[in-house]
Amino acid sequence: MTSEGLIELLEQRPFIPLRLHMSNGRTHEIRHPEMAIVGEGVMALGIEHDDSDRPRLRFVSVTHINEVEPISDGAGTEAS
């Protein structure tokens, strides 16, 4: 996956939520396009608030994204 490819997926309308599969086995979900910022080789992901009520960011390397898949709502259609 390239930074340009990720930007295209995030700009798609209507937006389809995505799941990122990383090379270390972790996964990250992007449910809203404004919760991800793609830079040159790095992606910042907004993650849910914890008990401190402070927003948190997680930074991932674009080169370590092995797969991007649409998130299904469980009924065979993509969530919106």
Q: What is the pTM of this model?
A: 0.81
**What is the tens place of the pLDDT at every residue in 8-28?**
999 999 999 999 999 999 999
**Lookup result for tokens 């919106």:** 80
Is residue 75, in this structure, part of any structural domain at all? no
Q: What are phi and psi of 3, to 5 degrees?
A: -60, -40
* Residues contacting 53, CB < 8 A, separation 6+: none
Taking the C-alpha atoms of residue 80 and residue 72, their distance in angstroms, rounded to an integer, is 9
**What is the tens place of the pLDDT at every residue in 15-68?**
999 999 999 999 999 999 999 999 999 999 998 766 666 668 999 999 999 999
User: 23: domain CATH number?
Assistant: 2.30.30
- Domain hosting 40: range is 3-70
Is residue 47, in this structure, part of any structural domain at all? yes
Cα–Cα nearest to 67, from 27, 39, 31: 27
Taking the C-alpha atoms of residue 14 and residue 12, their distance in angstroms, rounded to an integer, is 6
